[in-house]
Amino acid sequence: MNRHRQIPILVILALLVGGLAAFWHLRHQGPPLPPVAGHEDSAQEGHDEHDEHEGHPEEEGRIHLTLPQQREAGIRVATAQAEPLVGGTTLTGTLEGDPDLEVRLSARVQARVETLSASVGDRVVAGQVLAILDSPEVARAKADAHEAQVELDLARRNLDLRRQLARLGDESRAQSEEAGRELASALAARDAAEAVLEQSRLRGARVESLLQDGIASSQQAEEARSELRQAEAGLRRAREEVRIAEARKIREAEISRGGYRQSREVHEAEASVRRARERAAHLQEAVTLLGADTRSHGSTLTLTAPMAGIVVERAASRGEQVEAGSELFRILETSNLWLWLNLHQGDLSRVREGMEVRVEVAAVPGRVFQGRISYIAPTLDAQTRTARARVEIPNRDGALKPQMFASVQALESGREPVVTVPETALQEVEGQEVVYVARSAVEFERRVVVPGQRAQGRVEIRQGLSAGEKVAVSGAFSLKSEDLRETMGEGHAH
């Protein structure tokens, strides 16, 4: 073969080898493609992926994946943000009625149900009649109260009479006049005693004179002396009676002037009225406590709603005989509900009393209710190792119902900006939390981080990552799998 014919053959062979090499490259590597949709790090124009890591030994924790491989694994990157972490912990619980807004009505005496005016599900207002009961005990209580009222009326009339007599002063005048008569009688008796004494003295003097003349005997003289002594004693008694009568006269005059006697009688009548009033009030209260109307007679009592709400239970039928203490109605006001949560130990550092929460229920889709954590139990339950927390939720329109299942998100705001990434970026490798940082369009680096609080799908990164760095937020598990495979020495898949 001559030299001129050999040159075209060599050219053909070179082209053939070059075509086979290009076909192999397309078959195994694929053509250059644009960056993955949503990937915040676009590949450099004209970047030669093969040249970038050819001849460089792989380091542990470094993963190289081509853009087609990233698309196939669903890998997407995003930038770590410096922002306040608004949110908190997502919890679940069950709605219950507020016990302070619930009332249970019971029969206070043994009775028979006459009528029922409310059923389960009815909305009632305060003072609305729920039932009418008939009870002999109510009849007895009303009779006793009526008797006490009659006694009170009599005592009041007696008091009025005493006050009228006190104004007229008749009794005091009579007592004063009687004292005057006693004093006059005592003075007359004293005057008579003085006259008798004078006569006794004169007679005694004559007898003594006759005795000296020998006309009168010694016996007559002794009798005259004895009569004189008796007259002196009678005068002393008469004078004492005068003194007593004068003192009484003075006392009665003072009583009459001051109205003391009338005041005493009036005070006694006033005390009787007070006793009668207390007894009547006590018996009237007994009737009221039974739930009966004190203004009417008979044996019926009316059961009324003490507050507005919904009748959630009725435990009696018409004509039924009920015992004292038997529950008849249960009324619940649902304008404010309680939601009980069970906080695990890890939740206690993120949830506190007074924290605002967002509440959602499946029965009311698309609506978010606001609430507040009003109580956290100071101790953990011995069995579940959780602490009960109470959320108070306004429910003025009644959209929420007791026993509904609710999802709760405890909100926390007003914090300083922190580095955050989506929770999907976190992976666990050898017991450590890691993220995969994009060092270039085709290279990722495993980075150990310290996560913090989580809220609304994002997690705080306290250590190991800076704001502005790009991490894999989707398909991170594929990077973890490739990372572990390379660590075990199985090589790369390109």
The predicted-structure confidence for 178-233, as pLDDT tens digits, reads as follows 888 888 888 888 888 888 888 888 888 888 888 888 887 888 888 888 888 888 88
Q: Specify whether the CB–CB gap between 25 and 31 falls below 8 A.
A: no
In a domain, 286, yes or no: no
Give the integer Cα–Cα distance in Å for 227 and 229.
5
Cα separation, 144 vs 304, in Å, equals: 24
Cα torsion at 426, 430, 432, 435 (round to 10°)? -30
Average pLDDT over residues 59-88: 85
Mean pLDDT over 416-427 rounds to 89
Residue 44 DSSP class: P
Pick the residue with more confidence: 258 or 405?
Answer: 405
In a domain, 422, yes or no: yes
Residue 191, both tokens: 């005057």
**Alpha carbon distance 207, 225 (integer Å):** 9
Are the C-beta atoms of 137 and 109 separated by less than 8 Å?
Answer: yes
pLDDT score of 117 more than 60: yes
Last residue of some domain: 410, 427, 452?
Answer: 410
- Identify the band that residue 64 occupies on the pLDDT scale cut at 50, 70 and 90: very high
How would DSSP label each residue in 229-247? HHHHHHHHHHHHHHHHHHH
Q: Are residues 181 and 214 in the same domain?
A: yes
Same domain, 306 and 227: no
Q: Give the 3-state DSSP-derived string for 259-289, with helices as H, strands as E and coil as C.
A: CHHHHHHHHHHHHHHHHHHHHHHHHHHHHHH
Per-residue pLDDT averaged across 70-86, rounded? 87
- Are 395 and 425 found together in one domain? no
Do 325 and 343 belong together in one domain? no
Q: What is the CATH number of the domain that holds 383?
A: 2.40.30.170
Mean pLDDT of 421-427: 92
State if pTM tops 0.75: no
With a pLDDT cut of 70, the percent of the chain lying above it is 79
Q: Is residue 493 part of a domain?
A: no
Considering only CA atoms, which of 331, 333, 326 is closest in space to residue 313?
Answer: 331
- Please report which confidence band the pLDDT of residue 266 belongs to, taking 50, 70 and 90 as the band edges: confident
Q: Do 405 and 441 fall into the same domain?
A: no
Residues near 297 by beta carbon (within 8 Å), at least 6 away in sequence: 142, 146
pLDDT-derived band of residue 43, with 50, 70 and 90 as boundaries?
A: very low
CA–CA dist 386, 315 (Å, integer): 36
Alpha-helix runs per DSSP H in 169-259: 170-213, 218-258
Segments forming the whole domain that contains residue 77 = 62-84+417-487
Residue-level pLDDT at 466: 94
Where a domain ends, among 369, 394, 410?
410
pLDDT of residue 60: 75
**What per-residue string of b and e applies to 448-472 under the rule 16 or more CB within 10 Å gives b?**
ebebebbbeebbbbeebbeeebbbb
Q: Are residues 400 and 449 in the same domain?
A: no
Give the residue from 441, 461, 442, 443 showing the smallest Cα distance to 451. Answer: 461
Q: Which of 50, 92, 12 is closest to 360 using CA atoms?
A: 92
Buried b (16+ CB within 10 A) or exposed e, 146-181: eebbebbeebbebbeebeebbeeeebbeebbeebee
**Highest-confidence segment of 40-49, 381-390, 463-472:** 463-472
Please indicate, yes or no, if residue 292 is contained in any of the structural domains.
no
Mean pLDDT of the chain: 79
Same domain, 421 and 482: yes
pLDDT at 223: 84
Strands 356-361, 369-376: parallel, antiparallel or unpaired by DSSP?
A: antiparallel
Asked if 435 contacts 483 with a C-beta cutoff of 8 angstroms, the reply is: no
Per-residue b/e over 190-217, b at no fewer than 16 CB within 10 Å? beebeebbeebeebbeebeeebeeeebe
The verdict on 468 and 397 lying in the same domain is: no
Residue 51 lies in a domain: no
- Give the model confidence (pLDDT) of 425-480 as tens digits: 999 998 899 999 999 999 999 999 999 877 767 888 999 999 999 999 999 999 99
Q: Which two tokens stand for residue 74?
A: 């669903």
Listed range (39-48, 54-63, 356-365) with the worst mean pLDDT: 39-48
Return the CATH number at 108.
Answer: 2.40.50.100
Is 263 among the domain residues? no
- Looking at the structure, tell me whether residues 348 and 402 fall in a common domain: yes
Residue 478 and residue 427 in one domain: yes
Number of domains observed in the structure of the chain: 4
Q: What is the pLDDT of residue 167?
A: 64
Q: Is the pLDDT of residue 132 over 70?
A: yes
Asked whether residue 413 carries a pLDDT value surpassing 70, the answer given is: no
Please give the share of the chain, as a percent, with pLDDT higher than 90: 20
Q: Is residue 68 a part of any domain in this protein?
A: yes
Considering only 159-168, 227-236, 379-388, which range has the smallest mean pLDDT? 159-168
In three-state secondary structure terms, 451 is strand
Distances in whole angstroms, Cα of residue 469 to Cα of each of 366, 460, 464, 482: 35, 14, 11, 21
Domain boundary among 331, 353, 374: 331
Let me know whether 69 and 94 are in one domain. Answer: no
State how far the alpha carbon of 270 is from the alpha carbons of 172, 264, 266, 273, in Å: 19, 10, 6, 5
Residue 17 within any structural domain of the chain? no
* 378 shares its domain with 449: no
